Chain A
Amino acid sequence: MSSTALTHALEVPVIGPEQDFASVSATVSDLVLTRPTPLWWYVATGIAGAFLLLFVIASFATFYAGVGIWGVNIPVAWGLALANYVWWIGIASGGTFISSLFYLLGADWRNGVNRTAESLTLFAAAAAGMMPILHLGRQGLFYWLFPYSTVMGVWPQFLSPLLWDFAALLCYILNSIVFWYIGLIPDCATLRDRAQTRRQQLFYGVLALGWRGSARDWRGFKAAYLVMAGIMAPMVVSVHSIVGLDFAAGIVAGWHSTQWPPYFFIGALYSGFAVVLVLIIPLRRLYRLERIITERHLDVIAKLMLATGLLLAYCYVMEAMDPLYTGEPAKVTAFLASAFGHYGPTYWARNTLNIFIPQLLWLPAVRRNRIALCAIAIGIVSGMWLERYNFVVSALAQDYLPSEWHFYGATFWDWAILLGSAGLVLTGFLLCIRVLPVISMFEIRETIHAQRSASRTQAPANP
């Protein structure tokens, strides 16, 4: 009786009601400790590893021959590498946002997917961090961005958004590592205690740092985690807003506008939510985690994606409104060129993939259909890349002086860097799910306890 009342109140419980502490510990740890490595993992890691190798080769080719092997030139000096940068950092931001903001909000569904989102963040931020360094003409001098005291006595210009960006990205990557690792400590303790071999026991034991799970330790842990989440949520907003300011502070006609920080950030969330869906839909099926990552998780993320997509649609309208309303000729030209010119197809493709098709998510049947949901999410991830590409390249190609106009086309090495960076992220993610728990076990136990307490207090009210 009480369970039906609860089901009614919560629609569908976020975790299967038959799950308890022991079953969650066993299900999630056994994936790592006892299950033989599944065939699909070898296949996926093989493919991702091949792309990672491509990334290594393309990076060395760029170090050796210089950025001249890419399609970039004046005026389009920011090509695919910068579009990739904005795209990857956006995906990373979305992952952190799911983990931190929805922790602060106390959303119960967050605990099933935060580990996936955080692992994704880690590798997406690493891929993003590679892009500006590869893009520097003289990669070996990247450390000039650090405020260190040179013999020449010169310092970086701290008033430039490009330097804010350097500080933001560096601090963000370093913070993501700790935010991800601190959540792993209690789970590594579970793996240590369930280890089948001495080697596993040592490996997870060292990672767990001797975690004992005493109430005093948990009090410290919760306090640290709460403040960290409270810092990480505004931090991702600032990181991607600063990426937007990189462009807004430029004098290029198509970029010089104050609207980019929110525009970039909303796009970042959108791509982050979509990538998390693309990863968890196959993951829950291949690892048989349907009782822990339930339909409710997919439904909530799909609804969030829809809401973020509507925010983005508003941004897209403002993107057109700003130049057309001001009527400044160079801005109007730049906008019309991006929408109807040489790069026009990418503009309409991104509108279709990011705005028009995701409207299908209004239909509950589409949200429940995992293949359709996955396809829409893949479309959004691609659409977001097209948005970044169109934004970066088109404005540079057609700036103030028509005599300077020149179109950019990516070369093999440009594409190799893009595909290779995807290989880097996927390889990292696959290694992560093979050796570390894919689900944050201690937080799922908290959710189970909360679900039980709620059903118990509801029982007398609904006899």
Chain B
Amino acid sequence: MSPRSSSYGFIGEFRAPEQVAHAARELHAAGFRNWEVYGPAPIDEITHLVPTHRGRAVTIAMVVAALVGACFGYFIQYWDAVLSYPLNVGGRPLNGWPGFVPSAWEICALFTVYGGFFALLAACRLPRLYHPIFAAPHFERASQDRFFVCVPASEPLYDLERIRSLFMQYGALSTAELTQ
């Protein structure tokens, strides 16, 4: 079943989260791996059916950003007080670490939040203002009240009739084939 070059994929529109969850489980059981669900809210019952490491990737990126931020925040202060401009104040230690912790923590927090933001954009390939999926009929409701399941043409098991009948079996309101 070679994917047709002009086709982006096949999409089905659903009303209830439960229907989407059933359809998605069925797709997974049938061996499909590249399908995607679109919906207006992060409903765990649905999002956790999709095989992806994106959540973990973003979390790991944030942990790395946090460590980098903490080290960087501490290093600026260490560089100043110990290396660049050592100043002996009554014999106190130059590396007065307890006093360096608050600023290092704030910079760590800054790096974590910005690291998470940019990691999310990178993981989702955003910003990308146009995407073939936007051409699907009624897709404007994916951000309001409907759910969509899309099987891309790159899927090895891509078979229009099989997917259509599966979607209809779980109560799809409409189905359509998308072009590139």
Contact = CB atoms under 8 A, between A and B. Distances in A.
A21 B144 contact: yes
B103 A213 contact: no
B37 interface: yes
Majority-rule SS of A interface residues: helix
A259 B109 CA distance: 25
B90 interface: no
B112 A231 contact: yes
B8 interface: no
A215 B50 CA distance: 7
Interface of B: 17, 36-43, 46-50, 52, 54-59, 62, 66, 73, 76-77, 80-81, 84-85, 96, 99-100, 102-103, 105-107, 109-110, 112-114, 116-117, 119-121, 123-124, 126-131, 133-134, 140-145
The listed residue with most A CB atoms (<10 A of its CB), out of B106, B116, B123, is B106
Given A206-B129, A223-B56, A158 B143 contact: no
A238 B110 CA distance: 13
Given A158-B99, A215-B52, A449-B43, A220 B120 contact: yes
A75 B80 CA distance: 32
The listed residue with most A CB atoms (<10 A of its CB), out of B46, B76, B129, B131, is B129
Given A153-B85, A213-B39, 8 more contacts: A21-B144, A190-B40, A193-B143, A193-B144, A209-B127, A209-B129, A214-B124, A216-B52
B109 A194 contact: no
A211 B59 contact: no
Given A21-B144, A158-B100, A215-B39, A224 B109 contact: no
A328 interface: no
Contacts of A221: 42, 120, 124
Contact of B116 (A153, A218, A227): A227
B38 A214 contact: yes
Contact of A158 (B47, B81, B112, B113): B81
A220 B80 contact: no
Given A167-B103, A224-B119, A21 B85 contact: no
Contacts of B126: 209-211
B109 to A, nearest CB: 5
B103 A218 contact: no
The listed residue with most B CB atoms (<10 A of its CB), out of A179, A211, A212, A449, is A212
A227 B41 contact: no
Given A171-B106, A219-B55, A21 B120 contact: no
A409 interface: no
Interface of A: 20-22, 25-26, 147, 153-156, 158-159, 161, 163-164, 167-168, 170-172, 174-175, 178-179, 182, 186, 189-190, 192-194, 205-206, 209-224, 227-228, 231-232, 234-235, 238-239, 242, 441-443, 445-446, 449
Contacts of A193: 140-144
18 contacts: A25-B145, A159-B96, A163-B103, A171-B106, A171-B110, A175-B109, A175-B110, A182-B117, A193-B142, A209-B128, A209-B129, A212-B38, A213-B38, A214-B124, A218-B47, A219-B50, A224-B58, A232-B113
A174 B113 CA distance: 9
Contacts of A170: 106
Contact of B85 (A155, A205, A218): A155
B141 A218 contact: no
A222 B55 contact: yes
A161 B100 CA distance: 10
A178 B65 CA distance: 15
A228 B116 contact: yes
B40 A147 contact: no
Given A220-B57, A222-B47, A223-B59, A186 B143 contact: yes
B43 A164 contact: no
